[in-house]
Amino acid sequence: MSVERTLIVIKPDAVKRGLIGEILARFERKGFKIARLKMLKMSRECAERFYDVHRGKHFFESLVEFMTSTPVVAAVLEGPNAIEVVRLMIGPTDGRRAPPGTIRGDYALDIQENTIHASDSPERAAFEESVIFDPKCPESE
């Protein structure tokens, strides 16, 4: 059993709907430790850096617009096999196809406005944590 860190971002659609507490509670109940927590309004530069792997894709511009529209909440979660377990808990990208019982399955009906992001590898988790917790990505007022 390897203890890992992963990064999640509760996206603008979920923050606007008042789901921050409900979503964080699911990870706490599962047994993950919230190691870091930050509410921020992403700047364009921060969002473009965070999603650098998607640059050039047809949805990139719209994704950046969405992620910078209103505040988000980011958390670093720590626990056994955190990357894989958290990805299982959030479900597939498209909220319409995500099975009930997963976070996207329970809260999302869209492929872009899909409630939550979670890192897909330890390398990405470390990179995404460094982007989000960089003082250049300032906290929301």
Q: Among all residues, which ones are annotated catalytic? A: 117
Helices 82-90 and 20-30 cross at an angle (nearest 10°) of: 130
DSSP string, 102-120: BHHHHH---SSS-SEEE-S
C-alpha–C-alpha distance, residues 55 and 49, integer Å:
9
**CB closer to ligand CMP out of 123 and 141:** 123
Widest distance between CA atoms in the chain: 39
Q: In the window 115-134, what residues touch ligand CMP (CB under 6 A)?
A: 117
Binding segment for ligand CMP (CB under 6 A), chosen from 27-35, 74-82, 112-120, 133-141, is 112-120
> Among 20, 41, 112, 133, which residue interacts with ligand CMP (rule: CB under 6 A)?
112
**Site residues for ligand CMP per CB under 6 A:** 54, 59, 63, 93, 111-112, 114, 117
